[in-house]
Every structure is written in structure tokens, then in C-alpha cells.
Chain A
Amino acid sequence: MSWRIQTSLALVAVGTGFTMWCLIKTTALSMTAFFSLGVPLYGLAALVYIWEILLDLRRHRVL
């Protein structure tokens, strides 16, 4: 498993932590953490994963 996949999984894990905290507490602080940290972490994880997919496609000469 490449470092990109591992990074994506780590980002998803941390983002899910913020999301769960928001779901359980639903306070102003937890909501702010979710929207300002959780969602961007998910987005970053998706970008890193897409990077890995593109490299994989290039490796197989699809791109």
C-alpha cells in the first residue's frame, strides 16, 4: 500500500473523529470543528486518493 493510500486513510480516520464528535455533541465548537477541519480533511483525503488513482492509471498506460 503506497504512502498516498496510507495518508488518505489517516486523514479519513481523523476526519471521522471530528465528525463523530460533532454528531454526538452538536455544540457550536464541535460543529465548527466539523466544518472547518473534518470536511477539509475528507476533501484532502479524496484528493490524495485521486492522485493515487491517476498514477495507477498512468502506470497501466490508460492515461
Chain B
Amino acid sequence: MSGRLKIALFFVIMVVPGLLSLVTTQLAFSRASSVEFCGSCHTMTPWFQNVTDPESDSLAAEHFKRRWIQHEQCFTCHSNYSFLGPMEAKIKGVRHVAAFYLGFRGRIELYDEFPNDQCLQCHAEAKGFLEDSNHDPIEDIMSGKDRCVDCHENLHAIEQDDNGPIGFAAGGDAAGGDAGSADDAAGDDADPAGDPPSGGDGDDGDTE
């Protein structure tokens, strides 16, 4: 083998695949944060439809249609804000795809209780949140002793079938329940102050 051929082979087998992998990983990770990407998985169809449904009054749909979260709405609430949070979310996503193709059946549930930190990333400094008397004592919310979703319950208006294919709604557009909680409650009714489900100020376009 000539020296020139060896160099060419080194580039073709080592350098080009390495660079291609880096670029693809970066692009795939950035594109995978979009709501459309989450909706591209058939298992997520009920959640995607609920979030993007302008008629839905679920907490997720309110955040989407009022643009309280501007972009990447699924990813913003469902990925950990730590340094490796996005990476953890992607690894879990790959596990979910494997579970689907291996024929897992049952309910989709969150790994852990939905943490207050996810809400407080936006709401913690919001005037409407801080001044709302329903949030007293606010230290309990900040510390996680009182959970946001205990009062703001209607996260996703999804009803799941315990024995059906994962994620597919059992039928109807039933309110109540979510990926992490089987409770049923109507979002606005659950808020004693009559505030919008975010617990925030409630104005359209208010991004806190």
C-alpha cells in the first residue's frame, strides 16, 4: 500500500466518520428538543395532540398556546436543568424507543415525581407567583416540601389504558390524569384563586 493511499484510508475510516458523528450528534440533539420531534413518536401522539390542541385547558396546552414557553415546550419541562440533564433525557428517550419495539405494554409514567424545580426555573422570580397568597408559605414551595402539581393537577388531559400499547389513549378526550399522576381534576377548578393553570399572572404572552 502506498503512503498516499494509507493517508487517504486514514481520513476515510477515522477522520470523516469521527467528524460526521460529532456533527450528527449535535444536530440530532438540537432537533430532538422540538415539540414536533416528541410528536414524531407514535407513542407520544396523545400528549402531542393535547399540548398543541388550542381547545385544551390542560396545563401543558396552556403553556403551549399562550407561549408561556416560547420554544421546545416538551423538552423545557421534561429535561433536567443540570449540566448533564439534556443528555440524560436523550438516553432515556433511546430506552423508551427500545421498550416500544420490544413490545412493552402498560402506562407511561414519569420516573420520579415532577420536581418543583422545573416550574420554578421560570416562575420563581415571577411577581404573580411571589405575591399569590395561595403560595404561602412560599418557602415550602421553593424547598419542594409543597409540590406545584399537587394543586396544579391537570398537566396533560390524557387517559391511558393500563394494558394497551403504551401511550395510546383508551378513548375520548377525558380530562384529568397525566404521565406522572393518575389523579383526575380539572385544572382551573383545582386552583382556588381561579388563576390560570400556570399559577402565574395569566396574561397572554406573559413569559415571566
Contact = CB atoms under 8 A, between A and B. Distances in A.
14 contacts: A12-B13, A19-B20, A22-B24, A26-B32, A26-B37, A27-B40, A28-B93, A28-B96, A31-B93, A39-B21, A42-B21, A46-B14, A49-B9, A56-B1
B17 A12 contact: yes
A28 B168 CA distance: 17
Interface in A3-62: 5, 8-9, 12, 15-16, 19, 22-23, 26-29, 31-32, 34-36, 38-39, 42, 45-46, 49, 56
B13 A8 contact: yes
A1 interface: yes
B120 interface: no
Interface in B103-147: none
Chain B residues touching A, majority SS: helix
Given A23-B24, A28-B93, A31-B28, A42 B37 contact: no
B71 interface: no
A45 B13 contact: yes
Given A28-B37, A28-B93, A34 B12 contact: no
Contacts, number: 64
A7 B144 CA distance: 55
A28 B41 contact: yes
B31 interface: yes
Interface residues of B, number: 24
A34 B28 contact: yes
Given A26-B28, A42-B17, 8 more contacts: A12-B13, A15-B17, A16-B17, A19-B21, A26-B32, A27-B41, A38-B24, A49-B10
Contact of B98 (A26, A32, A49): A32
Interface size class for chain A?
20 to 34
Contacts of B93: 28, 31
B84 interface: no
B75 to A, nearest CB: 13
